[in-house]
Amino acid sequence: MSEKQKIHALITNMTVNDDAFGVDPDSGEGIYIPPGVTRAAKLVAGEYREITVIPNNPDRQTNTKWMGIFVEPPVQEPRAKAQDPSVEQLLAALDSVCYLSTSEVAKELGIEVTEARGMLDKLFNERKLARADVHFGSNNRACSVLWARNPEDFL
């Protein structure tokens, strides 16, 4: 299939070079979003956006079946929305321990790891949480990601 289509996707990760990655929550298929598209759309990890995609280059398809070529502007939500109860539950849990891993947060909140990762990334980008990437044997990918209220909680 070489035609473009739209996917309502969760932005899961962004690199320092502004490459972004998303996931289709229905199929679990990965989406690569190039830096130019990421910057133009002002993407933030943890948000859901409507992305126009085309099949990714077969030579680059590791976990990213799709490549995003356009991202719709975010849907405006009412300003009077109260804080999500799961965020309050997360912050209360972090107050009782030093830090939690992404999977521990998911278990604590009773949600999927992908959903927890999106929520945690969003809170990190809003400077409400500190993040520590733990590496072992390789600098390519963290073997664990830890979350705390403040950087000092990791020490």
Domain assignment of residue 45, yes or no: yes
Q: Residue 55 CB: number of other CB atoms within 10 A?
A: 14
Q: Residue 86 CB: number of other CB atoms within 10 A?
A: 16
Q: Mind listing the pLDDT tens digit for each residue in 122-155?
A: 888 888 899 998 888 777 777 888 999 988 888 8
Domain assignment of residue 76, yes or no: no
d(CA 87, CA 65): 31
* pTM exceeds 0.75 for this model: no
Residue 30 domain boundaries: 5-71
Domain assignment of residue 48, yes or no: yes
Domain assignment of residue 77, yes or no: no
What's the burial of 9, exposed, middle or buried (CB within 10 Å: 0-12/13-18/19+)?
A: buried
Instruction: Tell how strand 30-33 and strand 66-71 pair up.
Output: parallel
Number of domains in the chain: 2
Listed residues 71, 97, 114: the one ending a domain: 71
Q: Mind listing the pLDDT tens digit for each residue in 76-129?
A: 654 444 456 678 888 888 888 889 998 898 888 888 888 888 888 888 888 889
User: Does 67 lie in the same domain as 89?
Assistant: no
CA angle 52, 56, 60 (to 5 degrees): 145
